Amino acid sequence: MSYNVSVEVFEGPMDLLLNLIDKNEIDIYDIPINTVTDQFVSQLRKWEDMNLEVASDFIIMAATLIEIKSKMLLPKEIVLVDGEEVHLDPREELVMRLIEYKLYKDISESLKSSEDVYSKVYYKPQEDVSDFRDPFEELNAVQLMDLVDTLQNILQRHRYDNPQENFFEIRREEVSLEECTRDIEDQVKINGKIKFSDIITAQASRSRIIAYFLSLLELMRTRFIYVRQNDSFSDLIIEMRGI
């Protein structure tokens, strides 16, 4: 034995309301508020009977409909616009909202058909040219004096020339996840494909490595990157996620 369950899906209260208007072939500018309110509320009841939780948005709309219904019973409010008397229709605001919603719903259907066409296009991923680069290219321009200068800089920074200052305060390293996430994002954006070991320098503290790893998980979750590993314990390869 099989069950056939069919439940109409509505994107929200506006969608349901439009559906009722279509079904009853109603002029959107002259909605019979009684009929529509009754049908709207009975739809919500039906969902409740099916043990479906009715979202609060639908209940707000039901309340709005009932409010309009009660206002319709009162004498129409009259305001002066440019010296002329105009009868305020309590339905007006709702009608405007419905028309606007319908507009975007129609647009979304036209986008849907473009999507159907253009999802059938195939693109080629970027060529990996890293194999063709000379790994020593960067070193070609380095002169002996550059090395000497660099060494001096390092020595100065570590103050080996002044033993008196050879004392350091050991601070707890603060590693922020945001910083690591941004770092990975930037590197992936620039290089397209990176290894986890590229990010982690040899001096990186344990907490920094953990922070990077957490950032990696976060970026996988937000579908910015995907990560693969060819063998157990081998390097993680991080790639920017194509759409």
Asked if 115 interacts with other proteins (CB under 8 A), we say yes
Q: Out of 2, 6, 51, 110, which residue is the one contacting other proteins (CB under 8 A)? A: 110
Radius of gyration of the chain (CA): 33
Q: Round to whole Å and give the CA distance between 235 and 194.
A: 10
Asked if 182 interacts with other proteins (CB under 8 A), we say no
DSSP result, 56-109:
HHHHHHHHHHHHHHHHHHSPPPEEEETTEEEEPPTTHHHHHHHHHHHHHHHHHH
Structure tokens at 234: 């081998």
Residues 47-66, mask of contacts with other proteins (x by CB under 8 A): --------x-x---x-----
Asked if 44 interacts with other proteins (CB under 8 A), we say no
Q: Out of 223, 228, 230, 233, which residue is the one contacting other proteins (CB under 8 A)? A: 223
Q: Out of 8, 127, 131, 134, which residue is the one contacting other proteins (CB under 8 A)? A: 127
Tell whether the torsion through CA atoms of 230, 232, 235 and 238 is positive or negative: positive
Asked if 12 interacts with other proteins (CB under 8 A), we say yes
Asked if 119 interacts with other proteins (CB under 8 A), we say yes
Kindly provide the b/e burial profile for residues 214-234, where b requires at least 16 CB atoms within 10 angstroms of the residue's own CB: ebbebbeeeebbeeeeeeeee
Q: Out of 97, 158, 189, 195, which residue is the one contacting other proteins (CB under 8 A)? A: 97
Select the span of 126-134, 140-148, 195-203, 230-238 touching other proteins (CB under 8 A): 126-134
Select the span of 9-17, 135-143, 170-178, 206-214 touching other proteins (CB under 8 A): 9-17
CA angle 87, 92, 97 (to 5 degrees): 165
Residues that bind other proteins (CB under 8 A): 9, 11-15, 27, 55, 57, 61, 97, 99-112, 114-127, 129, 222-223, 243
